[in-house]
Amino acid sequence: MDLYDGKLIKVAVLGNQMCGKTSLLVRFGQDCFAEQTGRVTQQVDFMLNSFDIDGEKIKLQAWDTAHQDRGNAFCRSYFRVNGYLIMFDLTDLESFNDVKKWVDMVERYAPENTKMILVGTKADLIESRCPQLDYDSVAEMAKDYGMEYFETSAKTGKNVDAAFHRLTSIILDKCKTEKPPVTGAASKSNINLMNDKPTATVKNSSCCN
């Protein structure tokens, strides 16, 4: 049993390189800002965070994967988590245009009706924001895909926890409607669809060191 004595939910972040995936995870997991250096992530890492949702104890494991290009077999092994944050950079129109690619990938490889939310990153860079990516237009597109939309900033912390917590709530609601109540020892099981878990490095040290 996990020391936190709660459900374990696994999510993954998907999006183009340099759209701020790792920075968002570090803000979520360690509550500090990791400056991007331009170095492409060479390994798979995850962040852990524990919190309550409607009085229920939750441990969220958020995965960050590198080399997520279409058709990559290594990437496909991560399509058995419980939900996804589809991310794009508000200062990079190409990353937004590629949202469809990531949504299509989830729909192709993940279990049916896997939950997603759309996350715009770098909301603090107001002067650099693409004029085409105004909030209402992006939110409408997200609605067309059945997703909720959050604008976030890993630098300031804006909406970072809110995005992860909301996806968690959506996943929990899905589990309650799709699964019958479980009793006995099985009721203590984690919500965990990633059985073939690859080797990963957990970031335990502070990113501020």
Which residues lie closer than 8 Å to 172 by C-beta, 6 or more apart?
Answer: 7, 9, 53, 54, 56, 58
CB 66 within 8 A of CB 42: yes
Residue 180 has what pLDDT? 56
- Residues 7-190: name the CATH superfamily: P-loop containing nucleotide triphosphate hydrolases (3.40.50.300)
| pTM, to two decimals | 0.78
User: Domain boundaries in the chain?
Assistant: 7-190
pLDDT interval class at 30 (50, 70, 90): confident
pLDDT interval class at 154 (50, 70, 90): very high
**Beta strand ranges found along the chain (DSSP E):** 7-14, 45-53, 56-64, 83-89, 115-121, 149-151, 201-202
